[in-house]
Chain A
Amino acid sequence: MKTTRSMVLVSSDPESLDRGALDVFSTLQKQITKFGLEEEIALSMITDISKHAMSPLVLVYPDAVIYGPVTADDVPRIVEEHLYKGRVVEEKQISAYDLSGRVAWLSSRKGTMPAENRIVLKNVGLIDPENIEEYIINEGYEALGTVLKEMTPDETIKVIKDSGLRGRGGAGFPTGLKWQFVKGAKGNKKYVICNADESEPGTFKDRLVLEGDPHGIIEAMSIAAYAVGADEGYVYIRGEYGLAISRMQKAIQQARDYNLLGENIFGTDFSFDIHIHAGAGAYICGEETALIESIEGNRGEPRPRPPYPTTAGLWQKPTLVNNVETLANIPAIIRNGGAWYKNIGTPSSPGTKVYTVLGNVNVTGLIEVPMGITLREVISIYAKGMKDGATFKLAQTGGSSGSIIPASLQDTPMDFDSYNKAGVSLGSGALLICNEEVCVVDLAKVLLNFFRYESCGKCNPCRIGNKRAYETLVNISEGVGTLQDLKDLQMMSDQLYEMSNCGLGQTAGSPLKDILAHFRAEVEAHIKLKVCPAGVCPMSGQRIYKTI
């Protein structure tokens, strides 16, 4: 197996090419081979660096060192010093802050350390999750003690606001602001809910946090409860996560035994307890109002909003709903301060993000890296490249409500704002990496089948729209689609977005929009040529409706 240690990128915008970028590239190739590094170092051209006086640029990852302007004569020294001996060639280095283009720049990645940075997963796999004492000696419950003894609720919320933490459930709403809404809401009874109904296809980060570090969630929920003025909390864990449920039960009992949950915690006036509610198998319950309906003993159908849960949530009381990964950041932020956290990641999306890397790559699994890393880095460095040296075709982010990311966006920094600007979404943190054997029509069909099945059926655009979109894709995959079908798919995507009641329906159409925007030729080949270029679709020629 090829293991890539480092990645070198050469800018190839017209200006760079004009100034000899191709020479730089070929010299790099020769020098890398000369030092026998061709197995360890991936070399590519990237196009989308904006015009810059310092071009051509050479970027070295994971160190995030940028050299410019580089001529072919500079290359031997860069290869020998940096790539071979590991010393940055400082005379040729330029500051990342000067770049205005779309290449990721990260203040937290100066130096030569790889980017993986564990905050959320700090304890996962390192401590015994069933032993509260192991959590305590690893700085556990220290943040709760600090908050209860030394800080007011307002000061606590201010630290979270200063940190710039944004919700990791997919929408990226500022966490401190949400806390403030709940604190400011009228009512003497308030709730804190941890949303652990993780059901986005391809996402299992929350399961690992719950299984590996349950006390981190209890501590974070207690801090949140103190800040917003709640005395009761729920952890809503999806029913399929049996181990996570039993670990959480044990952790709650241990915390009660140590008086870290219950009455007068740390000898203060603050009292708080947590219940577990196990889900019963419904994707929609990850939507916060559906989750609340489910705890109340109803079908998990989202409520119309407003009112938002922050003012009228569980049993119509003000309720704070936070995702597992969001909460897992809280104790570290309290311990180290908001400024510390803000310094990690990108200015508009501070902190780290946990990704589940899946699909046609050599290494699948969980990584936690600063916000703003690029897809190309994830694939070459953390996933150790594409399986069997195949070509990268697309990545699907964030489970089914994420986007289909074409290869042209693999140098876009992965943070909320950069992805928004590029018209795609980071979603919940799954990265399904696909090679050229994956057909976009087939992929979209699987995604829409999921939504068709998981739609709660309450509102028509989602219930009918997903079914019709799925049937249309089936017809295209059978080789009996028409060009009108493409117009219909675009229309369905728009209508799902505009008319659905909740996030499920609103994002369900995004795979349709993405394949039409980035892979239109491939979709049209199914219709005009009756051919599936990837060789996946059945193309049976029958206009039928059938399930996969």
Chain B
Amino acid sequence: MATEVKEGQDIRNMVRTLVQNHGDEKAELIPILHEINRELGYISDEAIKELSKRMNLPSSHIYSVATFYRMLSTEPRGRHVIQFCESAPCHVAGGRLVWQKLQRELGLAKGETSQDDKWTLLTTSCLGLCGVGPVMVIDNDIYGNVTPEQVPGILKNYE
């Protein structure tokens, strides 16, 4: 997800460019946070501080928004983010067993990132792909009709 680790001046420049492109209206806050999250893999303190200055909004407001939405993260994540759907249609279609297998295979519990920063394991609410449940999404790849037996093979696709 994250392309490369950016620091200090790079982050400040990126935020400045984004605010120039989007404008500093408050309504642009969520679109800008989306882009920061995509670039960095998460929304760092540095980015929040710079955004606060450029958009003339309190850091507390930006932080409260960034932590409210599921697609935005204020914590660094692993190279690959797994989202497993835990809503009722996937659950009824056999999702419980897939979820147990996934946790065992990775040695991770919900919300954890692996020691080597390779994986972050998250659960998500319905992704609207219920016709092919159980569903899991790794980065931007969608896997449907997943069975516990398929889990190791799917994970092998990622470096």
* Cβ proximity bits B19-42 to A, threshold 8 Å, 1 near / 0 not: 000000111111101100000000
Q: Please, could you name 19 A-B residue pairs with CB atoms under 8 Å apart, sorted by A?
A: A203-B128, A207-B128, A239-B34, A239-B71, A280-B33, A280-B69, A280-B70, A297-B29, A358-B92, A359-B92, A359-B93, A396-B88, A400-B88, A430-B89, A443-B88, A446-B86, A450-B86, A450-B88, A453-B125
Indicate whether A268 reaches chain B with its CB closer than 8 angstroms. Answer: no
Q: Which of A194-202, A217-225, A487-495 contacts B (4 or more CB under 8 A)?
A: A194-202
Contacts of B61 in A (CB 8 A): 298
Say whether B71 contacts A432, CB under 8 Å: no
Range of interface residues on A (Cβ < 8 Å) = 35 or more
Verify B69–A282 contact, CB threshold 8 A. Answer: yes
Distance A548 CA – B129 CA, assembled complex (angstroms): 21
| Cα–Cα, bound, A239→B92 (Å) | 25
Complex: A446 Cα to B128 Cα, angstroms: 17
Decide: B26 and A281 in contact? CB cutoff 8 A: no
A311 to B115, CA, bound (A): 53
A450 to B130, CA, bound (A): 15
Say yes or no: A432-B127 contact (C-beta < 8 A), given A239-B71, A280-B33, A300-B68. Answer: no
Q: Tell yes or no: A119 within 8 A of B by CB.
A: no
Q: What CA separation (Å) do A297 and B26 show in the bound complex?
A: 5
Contact indicator per residue, chain B 102-121, by CB within 8 Å of chain A (1) or not (0)? 00000000100000000000
How far is it, in angstroms, between the C-alpha of A200 and the C-alpha of B125 when the chains are bound? 9
A46 at the interface (CB under 8 A from B): no
Per DSSP, chain B at the interface is helix
Taking a contact as CB atoms under 8 Å apart, the answer to whether A240 and B91 are in contact is: no
Contact (Cβ within 8 A) B28 A297: yes
Chain A 372-410: CB-based contact to B (< 8 A → 1; otherwise 0): 000000000000000000000000100110000000000
Q: Select B26's contact among A296, A300, A450, A454, beta carbons within 8 Å.
A: A296
In the complex, the chain A residue whose C-beta lies closest to that of B99 is A548
B99 neighbours in A (Cβ, 8 Å): 548
Taking the nearest CB of chain A, how far is it from the CB of B58, in angstroms?
12
| Chain A residues proximal to chain B, CB less than 8 Å | 198-204, 207, 238-242, 277-283, 294-300, 356, 358-360, 364-366, 396, 399-400, 430, 432, 434, 438, 442-443, 446-447, 449-450, 453-454, 456, 547-548
Chain B residues near A298 (CB, 8 Å)? Answer: 26, 61, 65
Contact of B131 with A201 in the complex, beta carbons under 8 Å: no
Find out whether the CB atom of A204 lies under 8 angstroms from the CB atom of B130: yes
A356, A359, A446, A450, most chain B CB atoms within 10 A? A446
Least CB separation from B70: chain A residue:
A281
B26 touches A432 (CB 8 A): no
Q: Which residues of A contact B68 (CB under 8 A)?
A: 282, 299-300, 456
Q: Once bound together, how far apart are the Cα atoms of A200 and B130, in whole Å?
A: 11
Q: A400-B88, A449-B86 are in contact. Are A548 and B131 (CB under 8 A)?
A: no
Whose C-beta in chain B lies nearest to the C-beta of A400?
B88
A-facing mask of B126-159, CB < 8 A → 1, else 0? 1111110100000010000000000000000000
A456 contacts which chain B residues (CB < 8 A)?
Answer: 68
Chain A residue contacts of B65, Cβ below 8 A: 297-299
**What residues of B have a CB within 8 angstroms of the CB of A294 in the complex?**
30
**A400, B90: Cα distance in complex, Å:** 13
